Amino acid sequence: MHVVSLVLSLIGGIISFVQGGCLMCAGGVASSLAEGADKADMAAMGGGGFLVLCAAICAIVGGIFAVLHKGSAKIVLGVSAGLCVLASFTGYSDAFIWAVVYAVAAFCSYRDVKQSAS
């Protein structure tokens, strides 16, 4: 199960890192060009991109921990899923998909720790 957790978190982390980084940059540029209510929406989307960027870094670290230190991997991957849930509240709906991917990776890491203990 640690291999599944590693693959999910590394592939998801790399893709969401690129996606979150692009959204963060685009949100910042768009908020400087927009006026009125659109400015706040674009700034919130940029904030969501930053949260996904942080979650992607946590997911990559969690994937490495899934192989090296299995007990910590479920916590780090759970934190990355929580960050993605927070980012989905900013209007960045793709973040919820990443939250599900990281939650599945955390569950696989949790199952691996349970199987190792028995």
Residue type, 86: L
Q: What are the φ and ψ backbone dihedral angles of 89, each rounded to 5 degrees?
A: -75, -10
Tens digits of residue pLDDT in 92-105: 888 999 999 999 99
pLDDT given at position 43:
74
Low-confidence ranges of the chain (pLDDT < 70): 31, 34, 36-38, 40, 118
Record the tokens describing residue 60, joined without a space: 């990559």
**49 touches 23 (CB < 8 A):** yes
Query: pTM of whole model > 0.75?
Result: yes
pLDDT given at position 118:
65
| C-alpha–C-alpha distance, residues 7 and 29, integer Å | 33
pLDDT given at position 27:
74
